[in-house]
Amino acid sequence: MTDGFNYLMIAVFLGLAGYMGYRHFTNMKKVLIKDRQQKSIRILVVVMGFLVASATILNISRNNVFDYIRTILLVFVIAFFYAMHDGIGNEGVVAYSRFYAYRDIVAYDYIKDNETTTIFIETEGNKKDIKRVVFNASDSEGVLKLLKDNIGKKYKRMKKN
């Protein structure tokens, strides 16, 4: 690889690691009840990271400093991805790694079944973009209590896809 491409790759991974780290550290204190993660995707990302790291180690004779920097940054990106959680707290809801304060939520709905409780939130500005957060059924009582206590009057039935 050329040095220019290596610099570009390092810049992309550094930017991604910085952005994901910022989102993780700003949102982690706001989440009291974490969402139910999709384990298959998380395992796949960790396996991909392991394969990249092992390819770097196995090609030790052909690697240069750029390969090691890229691998280290990729490990940070994977660690932040693995650590990030959506969820709900006293101040609002974190959906898709973005925080939505209760005052910005104009409506919410939920669906309960035996395994999960799914909440849907509609925010100011973009009423067609409904965010979804899935929780374990064991967290159902706490999630619904937080919603009712903070935005109980904003409950409405929504059309969900």
Encoded amino acid at 31, one letter:
V
10/75 Cα distance (integer angstroms): 13
Q: Would you say residue 161 has pLDDT above 70?
A: no
121/150 Cα distance (integer angstroms): 13
| pLDDT of 80 | 85
pLDDT in tens, 115-141: 889 999 888 776 667 888 989 888 989
pLDDT in tens, 47-106: 888 888 888 888 887 888 888 888 888 888 888 888 888 899 999 999 888 898 988 888
Can you tell me which residue has the tokens 């092992």? 54
Q: How confident is the model at residue 15 (pLDDT cuts 50, 70, 90)?
A: very high
Q: Of 11 and 161, which is predicted with more confidence?
A: 11
10/81 Cα distance (integer angstroms): 18
